[in-house]
Amino acid sequence: MDQEERIALFLDYENLAIGARDHLGGLSFDLRPVADALAERGRVVVRRAYADWSFFDEDRRMLTRSHVELIDIPQRMGASRKNAADIKMAVDALELAFERDYISTFVLCTGDSDFTPLVDKLRELNKRVIGVGVENSTSRLLPAACDEFLFYDRLEGVEVPIAPPRSKPDRPASPPPVAPPSPRDVDALASLVAQTVAGLQSSSNGTVTASTLKRTLLRKDPTFNEADYGFRAFGELLRHLAGHNVVELAAGSAKGDPEVVLPEHGDREAAFVLLRAVIRDEAGSDGTVALSGLKNKVRKVAPDFSEKKLGYRSFLQFTKAAATSGAVGLRWSPEADDYLLTSTPDGAAAI
């Protein structure tokens, strides 16, 4: 239990309720999908919601049943109170961060970019920050600032109503707009995972676990969620990629946290031989080939070539390994402002 995440939940309730109503077909905000998502991440020990509750009578009952402390910020007091709830929420969060060392994660349920400085300060205090907001009413600035961001409309249990088509009898019917292609492309995800595993392997002791990989993907994109690609869990996604030979899974030191490695798609020595042959064929009168554009020339000969599948983070790293093995020569040329390679290690230094 000591290793369990302790979570403080703060709800900018007006932002959530209005965002759900205006952008999710009049849907009423329900805390249960958020609570279920957080239950998978740790134990919620603080629950607070901020609003003028005279506007949210039914919601107040729902939150009270979920043991949420309601912080009332009246708005009908003559002077402008527009930001009063936001300020109170930010002050309370910072106070809790200083007074409760055991709270490791802060969940800010809002789409308002005004909370970005609060997110930055909490992370500066070594707190993990998870954001929750309605996708179409969330500022683009906020998700990038968080460690993880959950879009409310994508959470399990949120059923967004489908708006019926509105008839326009006085106008001829127009064809429905063509939906843009989905950005949730599994092939693009496979490339991202392979690139991330290669980077982790080269920057650590070579051991990459599924949990480490997931944390790194979230650092690259806090909105990453395997459910957006049709997978129920991150392990299911990894098994899919393993089935397509993108990664390989092996038993890790902890149960349920397998080790993730890149498969050897061919022999590294064979790849070095391929590189040497391409350099020999493409070399100019001085016997050298510039690194710039060389990868495209290699892929013309072998379209399935990928240095990441061989465990290298970049093509330059691959060529340096080939030079170290003696397969090619590699040196930096100030005149060309580029690396130059030769098909034989004729004294050229591996940089």
Class at the top of the CATH hierarchy for domain 268-342? alpha beta
Query: What's the pTM value of the predicted model, to 2 decimals?
Result: 0.62
| Alpha carbon distance 134, 15 (integer Å) | 9
For 186-261, CATH number? 3.30.420
If phi > 0 it is left, if psi is from -120 to 50 it is alpha, else beta; for residue 159 that is beta
Domain boundaries, the chain: 6-154, 186-261, 268-342
Beta strands 128-133 and 148-151 are: parallel
Euclidean distance between CA atoms 226 and 186, whole angstroms: 10
The DSSP secondary-structure symbol of 256 reads T
Q: Domain 6-154 falls in which CATH fold? A: Rossmann fold (3.40.50)
* pLDDT by position in tens, the chain (length 351): 457 889 999 999 999 989 888 888 888 899 999 998 888 888 999 999 999 988 888 899 899 999 999 999 887 655 456 688 899 999 999 999 999 999 999 999 999 999 999 999 999 999 999 999 999 999 999 999 999 999 998 888 888 776 555 555 555 454 444 333 344 577 778 878 887 887 777 666 667 889 889 988 888 888 888 888 888 889 999 998 888 877 888 887 788 888 888 776 556 788 888 899 999 999 888 889 999 999 999 988 888 787 776 767 678 888 988 888 888 999 999 988 999 999 887 544 444
User: What pLDDT is attached to residue 291?
Assistant: 93
What amino acid is encoded at 261 in this protein?
V
Q: For helices 268-282 and 294-301, give the axis angle rounded to 10 degrees.
A: 110
Q: What is the pLDDT of residue 321?
A: 85
The two domains 186-261 and 268-342 share their CATH topology (first three levels equal): yes
* Span 4-60, pLDDT tens digits: 889 999 999 999 989 888 888 888 899 999 998 888 888 999 999 999 988 888 899
The pLDDT value recorded for residue 80 is 53
Query: How many angstroms separate the CA atoms of 310 and 290, rounded?
Result: 22
From CA 161, how far away is CA 22, in angstroms rounded?
Answer: 12
